[in-house]
Structure 1
Amino acid sequence: MINISFIVPYKAMKYVVEEIFSSHQEKAELRPNILTKTVDEIQKEDLEQADIVIARGYSANRVKATDVPVLPISVTGFDITVALNSCIQKYNPTKIAVIGPLNTVYGIEEIASVFSCEIASYQVSNPNDLKSIILRAQAEGATAIIAGKSGTSIATALGIDAIMILSGRKTIMQSIDEAIRAVRLMRQERERTDRFKGIMDYSFEGILSVNNEGIITTANNYARKVLDGLDNEPEQIYLKDVLPQLDSQAVLEGRTKILGELIQIQKNLYTFNCVCAGDTGAVVTFTNVSKIQELEGQIRSKLHKKGLVAKYQFSDVIGSEEKLLETIKRAKKFSKAESNIYIFGETGTGKELFAQSIHNSSARRAHPFVAINCAALSDNLLESELFGYMDGAFTGASKGGKIGLFELAHRGTVFLDEIGDISPSLQSKLLRVLQEREIRRIGSDQVIPIDVKIICASNKNLSSLVESGVFREDLFYRLNVLKLKLPPLRERPRDIIDLSKYFIKMNCKKLGYNSITLSDEAEELLQSYSWLGNVRELSNFCERLCVLLEEGVAEATDVLDCLEESERLEELLPSQNDLVSATMTSEKEILLQVLENSKTKREAALKLGIDPSTLWRKMKKHGLE
């Protein structure tokens, strides 16, 4: 609801306002409070429930002195003209004085030229001065007064002819509509401000905004707790007075930006950032270093707990193609050996699935399986993760030190995914571990023997990286004792169907849908697709198909719709096989002829030299499904 208090100076206006509110198109959202009061009669209690107040003249000025938003009713030239015309007809004065605040008398001289009698304007800012101004106007020859309610009451009491300026219906309607818009804008701004304040105050770091003069304009709760002087709330607090350690002036001038500067406040160390925010000034953020270290420790702890157990076994590998079965057979043999294993395969072929299966099939199955993605961490962090560190080894090191992944995996298996992305420096340290089977924590001179099996994986060809000098040759030969190459999904057409059925069943169960089956044409289309994202891409496709279809039989057109999500769907046709440039009668006849002489649609697509998905679309175009 929108609470509008409307202050009217005379009863006739009240009736007009009531009628307009009652017929307003948004009356269900409005709660009007119409007050017939003069400026002296307005009390603060009258306005307490109002979202906005509509008032005229001195009443509007009186409301402005309170905290309640006010929308002054504009006195239009039309309102003045009507009052002047009425005054002339009723009193035939020789001179008329128009008396009121600026928005009433502004522009009177331009209107005066169209009337026969003399017209003068008298601006009065304070209603207490009305009587003296009216007397002055009378002394200067005015025989009639035009003013608001207060002015006409005083003039009448003094025996001077007076006409009150009336607000027209259109003016009142416009004022109500403007008040509604103003309240909604104020509420939107209040919601935006509250949301912004909530974000600021619930942030776990200090945030300050500074204007171009270096004065702090906003500070969240965190900043107020840490920095002295912000709670005193003087008129102006300069950033340089609160944080003299920061060269904020250079930032405001755009000469530099401050990132990660360490400043000690009382007994705590904080990392500060201060950057220019364009023409609006600058933004300062800061965080307690110990909190960063604590959070980093929690993340590492969760990472370790997540990777200490191998969940999958060879029985979880789905597929019956000979290439896959040969790969599983080889992997089972590898699991019996203690040699290092290098798994090579495209993205999404299941490298970690095989690594976990090898571990669970080995004599180390009862011991930890520790996996880490080498591409996900920086060199320094990856080194501390792999080897651990001693108490005080470096700034930010956890108290008491930290055990590394090689130690955690003692008597178990370490899986190093994306091994091709580690730096040359770390490659040499990893080589020593493989040679000596011992590690040394960062900051320690003590050597710790370890017993781990190393399985590494990469979607990059390590031998090519060796030739280009990116990967150490001696490390490559240490890792590449047993090599397991995973076949891509496009080389296992039967497995595409087996995996599709598995993923569809799993997604239907998760979504609460009935089962979905694939038509023969749909299966043929799936088998003809390239699947460059391999099993991961197929899994995403099946989820999309289940969401869109929900139940029933998935036809080739359904598959085609879901495959169109991929940018690789349609390949360009070879010019020598382009159907458009063919010399035969029509494209439809070509399609019919080739389909009649082909056992499957896939075979027909091969004869035409086009992608099977293109063939499906052309068949659909000519009604040949």
Structure 2
Amino acid sequence: MMSGILLEIRETVDKYAAIMSKISGVDVEIVNEQLFRVAGTGIFEKLVNQDMSTEGYAYREVLKTGKLQVIYNPGNAPICAKCPRCSHCTEKIEIAMPIRAGKKTIGVIGLVGSSDAQRSTILADEATYLGLIEQIASFIGSKAIERIDQKQKESMRSALECTVNHMEQGILILGQSGTVTMANRIAVEQLKLEQCKGLQTVLAPTGDNLGGQTEYLLTVGKKTVHILGETYQPAQADENYAQVLVFTRSCDLRKKMYALTAAVTTGSIVGGSEATRQLRAEIEKIAASTSTVLITGESGTGKEIAATEIWRAGNRKDQQFVALNCAAIPESLLESELFGYVKGAFTGADPSGRVGKFELANHGVIFLDEIGDMPLYLQAKLLRVLQERKIVRIGSNQLIPIDVRVIAATNKNLKEMIADGKFREDLYYRLNVIPLSILPLRERREDIPDLAELFAMRYASRFGKGQCRIPAETMDALVRYPWYGNVRELENTLEFMVNMSDEQGVLGLDTLPRDFFKAAGFAPIHLPTPTPPAKEAVMPLRDLERREIKKAIDAFGDNTQGKKQAARSLGIGLATLYRKIEEFSI
């Protein structure tokens, strides 16, 4: 950093060289530590910006030792011995003063007398000249240090900007008045502003704490957003760097949490039956709407797949799809799963708080499966959310506006539950704005071949079995089966069949589960009874023993060495083998 510092403060160097020359009445040159002439007066004025590395032996010594050199007889002094101009030097006296920046020598001031008169003048008041040149060297060194400090600050600022611009969180550095002094790239993007610097900010805590961070309402200029973050005060704060705000927009945190927890059902609505074609057409019509949908149908018919198809076909396909099975979560935890909670909301709660499913689904779609299993007290809260489009986290009093499309599903008869007082009638009508019914698989048997082929291909690929084929008689059995478990049962059956298939991948009748033909209302197919293997005759042990001994002798030879090997292979001693050979007349 220091090697070229005199070039960076050349204006200052030129000024002091001119002052020095005018006061002393002699010529002045200033070189940097690479022996490059930075400034010069008089005879040196036209030689500025020249390399002096092949000469300047006195300057080289000063740079090496950091000590003043006064040469009273240039050309004859020992320091001049290697100089190419030693024998014809025109200089009469020379003073070489080091310029230091801290402990480092960064250049040399050369005061050169080229006449006897100049030599006499310098010698007449040598101490004054030395003091003057030392003072000028000190001034230049101070300016160099100032420039070095400035470069270090610029470098640190550049490194800081590079660091904060590569952080995943938004960072605002605020002055004492709340004005933005600096903002990283993420902060500008999250706030959706062209630039933040110079804008006034207002930071107001909401009182909630989520993910271990405080929630604030941040106003920057005319923009107000919900954020989660913390503020820090630098140890040596000044009016421009009084506070650092590290934050994440609440909606961005929700997206990250969604990405970590989302498990969207894959697949699509398959089948060519009239009922399935009509279902696809209805989904196409309602996909772009924001109205609530209630999907009904038996368990296993594919209600979640229908919900994801609505999401994918609609204008919210680029937003979150959040699914929650109301029957799979304990009643005591269901409210917190739906609406979230803040720090300290209840005993046993995560101390960092939690974002609920409705917040996660904001601007997207929430799928509430098995809605008929939701307890009555939660039904009332859900009704209020659907009416007001606002939620309140457990333990908080802050109303959070949401924009969520709700799709609910159930395999129960909600009207019967209303009559029994187990489901709220007002919630039913709020959910049933767009009813969507999925028929059981046994009422749309035309879909079974397509579904069976799909599942066979899926599991054959998953298990590395290549191509699987379903013969006509097997497909006929699958079509005639009642499928009380609907599509889910069909998929499980095909998975079993692929596991049981042979090397040719044929999913024959023999690959079907054993209880397949015992299903109620299904005419069994009689599989051919396999022919039992022929019974093998029992051989007496004496004959078996004689056969194996003869086999061993034939294999290893009837010489002594062969018999030793035969005895070892039979697991008997050599003497026993000889006795058996004689006994069996081998």
Q: TM-score, normalised by structure 1?
A: 0.42
> Between Structure 1 and Structure 2, whose CA radius of gyration is higher?
2
